Amino acid sequence: MKTLISQFTEQLTDALKIGENASLEKTKKEIQNIVITGLGGSGIGGKIVAQLVQSEIKVPITINNGYGLPAFVSEKTLVIVSSFSGNTEETLEAMEVAQNKGAEIACITSGGKVLELAIKHNYNHIVLPACHSPRAMLTYSLTQQFFLLNHYGFIGATFKNSISNAIKTIDANIDSIKKEALKVAEGLKGKTAIIYSEEGYEGVSVRLRQQLNENAKVLAWHHYLPEMTHNELVGWAGGKDEYAVILFRNETDYNRTQRRMEISKEVIEKYTNTHFEIWSKGNDAIEKSLYFIMLGDWISIYLAEIRNVDPIEIKVINHLKGELGKLA
């Protein structure tokens, strides 16, 4: 896993090439809404991208992380099916619903049943490189979400420059990224991480939570501002020093939200001495998000090393799949 995370910017470079070379057909359907369906490491890219394009895209995007699809899905819906393995059972069921409703279907996968169906029914699809760890391939699935939205005419092509610039920024700052990540990981030892960000970066917080869960084998939770200041902030009356707060911050966060962050810090500091502010680098939201993701991935790996656990191992998930496989 450490090797895979070290290849983050190389993967982004490769992902851009894959997207540029993808063979995609135009649709005659009038798309009025979009659903991105996927789970875990295959699904989080959709949430992050949906937030990053919200100021540009003019149709609603719904993120679907389960079996089935919302009732509004129709022949005027673009359903983006994201499953790295191509065999995620929830995603396959959602894909079947999309087929039955006559939706426009586009797939992001490395193979499996999803690719088989995409080829059989001539759905637009982008094939990713094979790898045994979907969460280590977020770079690929996230990038292809942009390419699909661009292909269908919902966003422009500026994301390509943003990703290219993010690659340069991360490569230029990788030593400081690792240094900061290690400091945070050391602070998380024996504590429960609570991750906060501005609302538009919630997907990045979810990504870090997932990485801490799977790589470091620890529980964590997240919330976002300003919503957090309307509920969870009150819950800090029960705060303890066993909690460690990670706050993702941008100089471009809305000014009143930044003030809420400062006031929230004053409250939180009464209950725990462990809190970290991570400031982004980059010129736009895509660059900043990728910077946060890279730093968060390193936090999870360093914490795994500190806890002496194998970041690749997911025996409990394999057990779950095995038990589900016994169902008729």
Q: How far is CA 77 from CA 28, 83, 120, in A?
A: 12, 19, 20
Alpha helices in the chain (DSSP H): 2-6, 8-21, 40-52, 89-100, 112-120, 138-151, 158-172, 174-188, 202-215, 232-235, 255-268, 285-307, 315-324
- Is 242 in the active site? no
Catalytic residue among 230, 240, 277, 319: 230
DSSP 102: T
Q: How far is CA 251 from CA 21, 151, 169, 255, 280, in A?
A: 35, 32, 16, 9, 8
Cα–Cα distance, 240 to 139 (Å, whole number): 36
- Is 214 in the active site? yes
Q: How many CB atoms lie within 10 A of CB 25?
A: 10
Residue 249: both structure tokens together: 């911050």
Catalytic residue among 104, 198, 214, 287: 214
DSSP string for 234-266: HHGGG--TTEEEEEEE-TTS-HHHHHHHHHHHH
- Is 230 in the active site? yes
Helix (H, G, I), strand (E, B) or coil at 133: coil
Catalytic residue among 179, 183, 240, 321: 321
Residue 37: both structure tokens together: 């369906």
Cα–Cα distance, 301 to 145 (Å, whole number): 26
Which residues are part of the catalytic machinery?
214, 230, 321
